[in-house]
Amino acid sequence: TMFARVVAIISDVCEGHKKEVAVLFVLTSILSRVVYRSWQSNSSGEEKGECKRKQSTSTAPVTAPAGYIETIRNVASPNAPFFLLEMRLKTARQIFRVNVPLSGGLYVVSNPDAAREILKDVSCDKPIEIYKPFQSVTGDPGIFTRSTYDKMWTSVRKSTAHSFSSTQVQRMNRICTEHTEMWLTDRVQSSVNKFGSFVFDPSEEMTQLTFRSIMESAFEYTSNEQDFETFSHNVEVSLKEFAIKEGGNPFRFLYKRFDPSYYRALQSSKIAQEFVRKVLNTYRNGNDPKRSDATTLVKIICDNKSLTENQKITELYTFMLAGFDTTGYTLSSTLILLAKHPEVQRKLQRELLTLEPVERSKSKYLKCVINESMRLLPVAATGSYRKASRDFTFPDEGGGEIVIPKNAVVAMPFYVQNRDPANFAEPNLFIPERWETNYDKVKGAAIQFAYGARNCPGQSLAMAELYSTIPKILSEYKLELEKEGKLDYFLTLKYVGAKLRASRLESSS
């Protein structure tokens, strides 16, 4: 009876496929555990002795109460960040283990000091078992998935850093500002003049805005609405398969070829890659009238003779994907939070209107609002993963010390850390004022971008866009919540189906 029940659950996890596949799933899971435990029991005497010595002064982290099936079902779904936060609260620990059949185990860390220590350790590489599925999306290994020890990763990272110098960020941000002004004139102002207000979906509008901005400023390509639809749709289809389903479910390879969605994802990957190829060829042929003489990202990658054509496509694809949706959804989440909290919106607008337009990006309260928005709704909700290169020892809330063992996969989800009651008072509330006092302490508890050698190379541009776009909108328009929508996670955390109403701010008319 128990086995039949497990098969029924697994059949659901396998999205309704044949029960024979589900049985294979269960048997493979059991076999994996047996093999792993056998390997542990046959470790060398030296390793056993070392473990015994460590156990005398430290213990292993507690294990989350969810079993293998429940964990896999949640981690390989849009519920991933919410599930991990639930496990953190149930274990009452900032470091705990979850039941996933990975060699070395999967440990979740929400302690900011522990996370920084792991992220800053250059010997802790990205775990291939987590990141390899992304290669099916982009075509080849790239800057996001390559090992830190890969000479090609070092070469691409160093060369592309020039495109994010302060001079280049200023240039790109000017282009982003121009696109924001065009959006305000063509979309918002024209509707307000005609109907008195403009109702819009901020997630859709802000991602399209950042896409157009990034395509021109970094890739020297003038995009249109069809380009955005083609790229964003096919990226979403392929990422759902390869990043979410395969990345979170170590057994999907057993039955994915029975699933039509797998083949749709392969086709979508090819379509998105061909769009990136078109962007590269447009630059190479000098067909875009807005071509720049600057050291742009597309120029650096195009001129890199150590990269093959397919590798150039992969690198451009990676930067393109990382560049528009993360910034776009951070913008939209911030606007929604301001509409949901009109007292915060009014306070920010009052401060902005006391400043000259060129000084508004330096508003102190704007800084508090953006930091609080990124804390509460971190777009990269599941954060970063690393493979422990050594044993890591940290204090345990229950007393004593705990050890994350060498070769363990360590997850550092920003959503969990930023909503951890041990890190923030009233962690689920939007309180920008928490950043006005004890800034360093609050900043130290929140991780907005990864640390160390694998940090986000474009974070300076992302922040520049946030600090220029939000003041432009808020200094002219009042935002009201028409429809809240729902919070959704699919690689990025964002609101889906929300609607805002923009009307002219009286003091700016």
Which residue shows structure tokens 């597309």? 298
N-terminal to C-terminal alpha carbon distance within the chain: 71
Rg over alpha carbons for the chain, rounded to the nearest Å, is 24
Task: Tell me the C-alpha distance between 111 and 117, whole Å.
Answer: 10
Residue 361 to residue 376: CA distance in whole angstroms: 21
Q: Is 396 helix (H, G, I), strand (E, B) or coil?
A: coil
Longest dimension (CA), the chain: 80
Q: Confirm whether residue 456 is marked as ligand binding.
A: yes
What are the respective helix, strand and coil percentages of the chain, to the nearest 5?
60, 10, 30
- Dihedral, 458, 464, 466, 470 alpha carbons, nearest 10: -160
d(CA 208, CA 165): 25
By CB atoms closer than 10 A (0-12, 13-18, 19+), residue 421 is: exposed
Instruction: Give dist(CA 272, CA 269) in Å, integer.
Output: 5
Helix (H) or strand (E) run with residue 22 in it: helix 19-41
DSSP state of 497: S
Beta bridge partners of 199: 501
Cα 373 to Cα 371: distance, rounded to the nearest angstrom: 5
- Within 285-308, where are the H helices? 297-302
Q: Please name the residue that has the structure tokens 């102002």.
A: 189
Both tokens assigned to 121: 């350790």
- Give residue for tokens 């120029």: 299
Nearest to 423 by CA among 85, 62, 169, 135: 85
Beta pairing, strands 409-412 & 106-109: parallel
Residue pair 63/98 in contact (Cβ under 8 Å)? The answer is yes
Burial of 60 (0-12, 13-18, 19+ CB in 10 A): middle
Q: Which residues are annotated as a binding site for heme?
A: 456
Q: Which residues are annotated as a binding site?
A: 456
